[in-house]
Amino acid sequence: AIEQVLKLAKRYLRQGAAVPLTDDNIRGFITDSNQMAAKGLRILAMATGTSFDDLTYVGMVGIIDPERPKVEQAISQLKTGGVIVKMITGDAEKTAKAIASRLKIYSSDDLSLSGEDLDHMNAAELRDAVLH
C-alpha cells in the first residue's frame, strides 16, 4: 500500500527534483490514492533508491483490472437462486468496495472487513462474519 512506501521515503520527486517529504505531502498523496481507489483502481506506489532507508517517492499509478466477462450476469443469477454472494479479495478496502458496488454485491450498509480486521478474528468470529 502507498502508506508503506511513504513510510520508507524521505523525499519525493517534484518537477524532476528530489525534495523533502513532509507530513502534508504524505496526507495529500494518501488522499489522492484514496480517491483513485474509490473509483475501483488498484494503486501501485513507486519509489527509487539504493536502500530501503533512503527512498525517494516518485509517484503512483492507478491500474484498471476490469471484471471478467459475464461476472455481473453470473452474480445476478446466483442471487436470483437465493445464494448470498460474498467477496473476499486482497485488494485495498476502498478498491474492493468500489468493485463490489459495481457488481451489486455491496452497499454502504453492508459489512466490510479489512485484512487487518480478519487477522484479529478467531475462527468462530470469521465464520460468523462470512455467514452473516
How sure is the predictor about 62, in pLDDT bands with cuts at 50, 70 and 90?
Answer: very high
Rounded average pLDDT over 99-125: 87
Cβ–Cβ under 8 Å, residues 91 and 107: no
Whether 54 and 13 have beta carbons less than 8 Å apart is answered as no
In contact, 62 and 43? CB cutoff 8 Å: yes
Mean pLDDT of 93-114: 86
Which CATH superfamily, name and number, covers 2-63? Calcium-transporting ATPase, cytoplasmic domain N (3.40.1110.10)
3-class DSSP assignment, residue 132: coil
One-letter amino acid of 52: F
SS3 category, 12: strand
Look at the block and give the residue holding cell 468500489: 98
- Residue 68: pLDDT band by 50, 70, 90 thresholds? confident
Q: What is the pLDDT of residues 115-132, one digit of tens each?
A: 888 899 999 999 888 887
CB atoms within 10 A of CB 19: 12
What is the chain's alpha carbon radius of gyration, rounded to the nearest angstrom? 18
Residue-range domain boundaries for the chain: 2-63, 71-131
SS3 9: strand
Q: Indicate the pTM of the whole model.
A: 0.70
Smallest CA-to-CA distance from 95 within 73, 115, 119 is with 115
pLDDT at position 60 is 97
Question: Which CATH homologous superfamily contains domain 71-131?
Answer: HAD superfamily/HAD-like (3.40.50.1000)
